[in-house]
Amino acid sequence: MLLDPRHDAPLVGPCRSGEREVFERGANEPAEAARKREQAAKAVCHRCPVRLPCRRHALAARIPHGVRGGLTPDERHLLLVDSLGA
C-alpha cells in the first residue's frame, strides 16, 4: 500500500476525498461531537478498499491520532495492549 508520508494515510481511498475532516478530532471538540464524528469516519472506513492495510499501518506505526482503518486511537491502543499480553 502506498502511503502519503505527510499524513500517514493511504494514497487511495475515500479518506483522501472531501470527507477527510471526519478522521481527526478538533482541538476543543465536545465528547458527543467526537463520538458522532468517529462514527461517520468509521462508516467511510467500512466501505474503503484499503481499510485493512490502513489499519495494519496505523497499528504498526502506532499512530496516536485520528480514525485509521476503522479504529479510533483508543481502539488501536487496546488492540496493541492485548497483542502484547499486557
Can you give the residue ranges of every domain in the chain?
A: 3-84
Question: pTM of this prediction?
Answer: 0.78
d(CA 56, CA 45): 13
pLDDT in tens, 13-71: 777 776 677 888 888 999 999 999 999 999 999 988 889 988 988 998 899 999 999 99
